[in-house]
Structure 1
Amino acid sequence: MRLVQFVDAQGGRRVARVGDDGRTLHPLREVAYLRDLALEAHRAGVRLATLVQARQEDAPEDYDRVIAEKRLLPPLDHPDPAHCILSGTGLDHLGSAQARDAMHAKLSGDQELTDSMKMFKLGLEGGKPGPGEIGVQPEWFYKGDGSWLVPPEQPLELPAFALDGGEEPELVGLYVIGDDGQVLRVGFALGNEFSDHVLEKQNYLYLAHSKLRNSSFGPEVLLGEPPADIQGTVRILREGQELWSAPFLTGEANMTHSIANIEHHHFKYRAFRRPGDVHCHYFGTATLSFAAGVQARPGDVFEIAAPDFGRPLRNPLAAAAEPDRLVEVHTL
């Protein structure tokens, strides 16, 4: 089952189930936020999918029209953006078979490993612990709060101070924290983690700065467990023509860490289990147009798609209106 959030023709927020035909949306009665429905399901002790079926209305919406009129919303968010936390994990994907062979050759060689390769090696050796065990912790970074989140079909902003704005096609885990602090996994979506790769390449200690950019995921959230082997396609369109495309791999079969291990090392922090909060976690990638020498520019459109996740995630790139200028701090 896949769900979306969108704005209806009257300007109201709605949650809807994607029809089996992929062309219709079936709105749910009296539900403006998927977050609220997830909390209601937990309080009632029922499956989220069961509650969705009970709330479904008869009158469908035209999905293509909702997309064309740019009325999609992120499939999970919070009424107060400060209570929606965006985060991510990197150095946890194996990539293609050729990339894997090259990586293993480096790891087995005699040369001194970089810090990044050491982190990758830790994941290979201890990122998928057995049942009831805790594995090695992965890399972690902060992406912002809900105000940094961009809906599908809306532009990702290239700040005036940015050196680059490139896509990162990723699996995104979507969570709500229950009244008792229980972590509730709503489902998974495709995401564009969007980072400044030129800045990061200057020095890996700039990673934290390079991640402080917009991101987007959706348009659909897939309830339940994701496929272990997700094979998708990422494209950049320029003036309606394909500039670059590549396959990408994600899912646990293509990762050095299990999803459960990454989840543990995020939610082990008590402050990340605050009742009512929403968490959106990007699980990393091994495919970048930047690595192929492509530099996106304003007007380009990023497109990320994979079977089982419904419609593709699309976002144009737009230059920020605010110029790069000194931010002055005033003493009180």
Structure 2
Amino acid sequence: MTLRLIQIVSASGERQLVAATEDGAHLVNGVSTTYELAKAAISTGAALAAQVEKQGLGDAVDVAVALSEGRVLCPIDHPDASHLHVTGTGLTHLGSAEGRDKMHKAAAQAEVQTDSMRMFLMGVKNGKPAAGETGVQPEWFYKGNGNTLVGPNAPLTSPSFAEDGGEEPEMAGIYVIGDDGTPYRIGWAIANEFSDHVVEKQNYLWLAHSKLRPASLGVEILVGELPKDVRGTSRIWRGNEVIWEKPFISGEDNMSHSFDNLEHHHFKYELFRTPGDIHVHCFGTATASFADGVKTQDGDVFEITADAFLYGLKNPLQTEVERKVTVTAL
């Protein structure tokens, strides 16, 4: 039976955790967040599904109604946002190098193999190592902490200095670090790994700047294994009109790296094995509207759906008000 975890706020303002299966969606007794459930499961050595059964289920919940009323939260968060890390890996999907390679060749005005293409080909050659072996490390980037993570229908806020605000439809792995430093994967979520592609296009060494943007997660965390072949659709709404729409694929069958290899190269750093921390790691995509010449604007709504998930993800684009930051000497 497939288990999905959803965080909501009740009509009276109380935080609640919902467990959804083929038998319906119900409140989980005794915990109010995904983080609390995961910590309880880690402490008892139980799988999440077994921990949900141990906690027991309460009242039925109509998730669609909660979503329409704006009561569905990001499916994972931490009581202290500084202990949640949002990171990602790129050039991980078959076909993902094409748009990046064209972009960088155009910027360099030279028909030579770019660093992006070389890194992609390294992944194709050794991104799925045999069991017990270590594959090549991927491109890796940092996006922010828990303050940069938003849930369904919440705005993706682009800074005033940004030159672009573009979607990236991806799968994200959700992890909690145990008291002994062991990373535990809770499951998977749809992610919009929102980025500034114009900044990156000017110079690929500005990739780090282009990724310091918010990201959003879908309604649910899918517990267990992600299907090997995930099919989805990414679209952009402008008012009542879809101005861009394209299918995307994910899952290991469509990737140049295995999840095991990507997880290894993230969690090999002791920094990322701090007990109690949460990690949201975005695993890349081969599809983005920027590659098709789309220029987004305030009010546009990004929508991502995927066949492995019951609910899609929608987020409007919003630009923050410009403000000057002054450093004060002490």
In structure 1, what residue type is equivalent to 2:282? Y
Give, in whole Å, the separation in 2 of the partners of 1:63 and 1:118. 45
Give, in whole Å, the separation in 2 of the partners of 1:294 and 1:301. 13
- Number of aligned positions between the proteins: 320
Gaps of 5+ in 1: none
TM-align CA RMSD: 1.9
Q: Is 1:223 the counterpart of 2:208 in the alignment?
A: no
Deviations 1:164-196 (A, max 9, x none): 100000000000001111110000011000000
Match for residue 322 of structure 2?
Answer: 323
Match for residue 153 of structure 2?
Answer: 153
TM-score (norm 1): 0.92
TM-score (norm 2): 0.93
Percent sequence identity over aligned pairs: 52
Deviation above 3 Å: which 4+ runs of structure 1?
none
Deviations 1:270-325 (A, max 9, x none): 111011100000000000011111111111111111112110011111121x3153
- Counting only pairs closer than 5 Å after superposition, residues 161-310 of structure 1 correspond to structure 2 as 161-310=161-310
Give, in whole Å, the separation in 1 of the partners of 2:205 and 2:17. 40
Give, in whole Å, the separation in 2 of the partners of 1:258 and 1:279. 18
Give, in whole Å, the separation in 2 of the partners of 1:53 and 1:162. 46
Match for residue 127 of structure 1?
Answer: 127
Match for residue 55 of structure 2?
Answer: 55
Single out whichever of 24-33 and 256-265 deviates more from structure 2.
24-33
Give, in whole Å, the separation in 2 of the partners of 1:293 and 1:324. 29
Match of 1:18 among 20, 25, 31: 20
Please give the secondary structure, in 1, of the residue aligned with 2:59.
coil
Please give the secondary structure, in 2, of the residue aligned with 1:72.
coil
Please give the secondary structure, in 1, of the residue aligned with 2:8.
strand
Give, in whole Å, the separation in 2 of the partners of 1:53 and 1:295. 47
Deviations 1:215-240 (A, max 9, x none): 00121110011001111001111112
Match of 1:9 among 4, 7, 11: 11
> Is the 8 Å Cα contact of residues 95 and 249 (structure 1) preserved in structure 2?
no
Deviations 1:106-143 (A, max 9, x none): 9xxxx642111111011011111100111110000001
> Is the 8 Å Cα contact of residues 26 and 56 (structure 1) preserved in structure 2?
no
Change in Cα spacing, 1:58 to 1:29, as seen in structure 2 (3 Å) is closer
Deviations 1:33-63 (A, max 9, x none): 2112112112212111111133343421221
In structure 2, what residue type is equivalent to 1:16? V
Please give the secondary structure, in 1, of the residue aligned with 2:163.
coil
Residue 74 of structure 1, CA deviation? 1.2
